[in-house]
Amino acid sequence: MTPGNDVDQDALAAEWEGALDSQDPEAESNELSESMAEQWAAMVDDGSRGFGNKSSGERVLSQEEIDNLLGFSDGEVNIEDNSGIRAIIDSAMVSYERLPMLEIVFDRLVRLMTTSLRNFTSDNVEVSLDRITSVRFADYLNSIPLPCVLTVFKAEEWENFGLFTVDSSLIYSMIDVLLGGRRGQASLRIEGRPYTTIETNLVKRLVEVVLADAEQAFRPLSPVTFTIDRLETNPRFAAISRPANAAILVRLRIDMEDRGGNVELLLPYATIEPIRPVLLQMFMGEKFGRDPIWEGHFATEIAKAEMFVDAVLYEADIPLKQLMSLKVGDTLPLGIRPDALVSVRCGDVTLSEGRMGRVGDRVAIRVSKQLRKPHTTYAMFEKADEQTKLMEAQ
């Protein structure tokens, strides 16, 4: 009730007093307590949803909801599952699916590793391709489970580096296999102890075997030599690229009956950039925009094409006045000698020069200079002609 309302205060007070006298005091107190409880419940509900805001439609997000929205968390970095704004940022990276030949290369690597590791361990080894993903280099370093051995290798022909990671479970499993450990026992994982010289050398030998297989896998596309640069156990010392740079991550699973582990091969996009046109092919030996059959037919038709050439004895520029004054019987002197060379032309292009003579009843020209060498050699036309004849014979 505002002070500006013209209401008789005395009459209103008398009306309320009469209403109170007519009701039961005990019932009135119960109704008053229920009304206050409802008001408190409504206030608490509004406060929990809006922290005192008058609009009940507004809601403050919790920390977990904020982390899910942004795609970040305080826990361990997970490169497999990105969401929110983080997924939008990472979507700008080039996906390995745009380089379809990579999958063929790594499938070939799996087959080669299966054979070479069986010979290396004298055991039944199964190698499987877990996944091929695109990651940022810093995210991968933060996601590496420790302890592990990181091998930095150099691609000599590509003039850049790559990273090879062997997890601890595979390291101890490989040591058990190579040193005669018993089957059926889980590999012991000793925390807080650095790898010994024997363990490091065995891991290095394993990496050499895998890198040799990787060389053979890439050989049909581009010959490359992978050489080990150094072995590290701390990811900070294995920085081969900028943190924000994108890279291809290949995870391979190696199983030796009841034991095994994972190896990961990381190739920055800067490393594979020299062979990027080859990796863009959909299948081995693909040639974009080129058809060898059409090339052979085109070269053959060009070689068989007819062309007209002109033998030019003499050329001179004379005034139009002199040309218009010529009459029958006038003589035009030519500023050449009888043994001068005759120019052989095709249109405006001079092909060669020769001397004029006679063969039977026809005027002939003996070519005295070699033809101008075109940009394409005649050997290409001869080869195309041979291919066309073989196709016609078939």
Secondary structure of the chain as H, E, C letters: CCCCCCCCHHHHHHHHHHHHHHCCHHHHHHHHHHHHHHHHHHHHHHHHHHCCCCCCCCCCCCHHHHHHHHCCCCCCCCCCCCCHHHHHHHCCCCCHHHCCHHHHHHHHHHHHHHHHHHHHHCCCCEEEEEEEEEEEHHHHHHHCCCCEEEEEEEECCCCEEEEEEEEHHHHHHHHHHHCCCCCCCCCCCCCCCCCCHHHHHHHHHHHHHHHHHHHHHHCCCCCCCEEEEEEECCHHHHCCCCCCCEEEEEEEEEEECCEEEEEEEEEEHHHHHHHHHHHCCCCCCCCCCCCHHHHHHHHHHHHHCCCCCEEECCCCCCCHHHHHCCCCCCCCCCCCCCCCCEEEEECCEEEEEEEEEEECCEEEEEECCCCCCCCCCHHHHHHHHHHHHHHHHC
Mean pLDDT of the chain: 76
Q: What is the mean pLDDT of residues 31-35?
A: 60
End-to-end CA distance of the chain: give it in Å, rounded.
108
DSSP secondary structure code for residue 186 in this structure: P
Q: Are 108 and 218 within 8 A, CB to CB?
A: no
73 pLDDT higher than 80: no
Per residue in 142-179, pLDDT tens? 888 878 888 999 998 888 999 999 988 888 888 888 88
Q: Which amino acid is at 55?
A: S
Q: Compute how many other C-beta atoms are within 10 angstroms of the C-beta atom of residue 342.
A: 21
**Domains of the chain, earliest start first:** 96-279 (3.40.1550.10), 292-327+335-393 (2.30.330.10)
* pLDDT for residue 72: 55
289 pLDDT higher than 70: no
Residue with tokens 């807080």: 192
227 pLDDT higher than 70: yes
Is the pTM above the cut of 0.85?
no
Per residue in 34-57, pLDDT tens? 666 666 666 555 554 444 444 445
Residue with tokens 């497999």: 80
Q: What is the mean pLDDT of residues 285-300?
A: 67
Least confident of 161-165, 241-245, 263-267: 241-245
Q: What is the mean pLDDT of residues 338-359?
A: 83
* pLDDT for residue 334: 78
290 pLDDT higher than 60: no
4 pLDDT higher than 50: no
Dihedral of CA atoms 60, 63, 69, 70 in degrees, nearest 10, equals 130
Q: What is the mean pLDDT of residues 202-213?
A: 91
Confidence of residue 394 (pLDDT cuts 50, 70, 90): low
Per residue in 365-383, pLDDT tens? 888 887 766 555 556 656 6
* pLDDT for residue 53: 47
76 pLDDT higher than 50: no
* pLDDT for residue 234: 85
* pLDDT for residue 1: 47
339 pLDDT higher than 50: yes
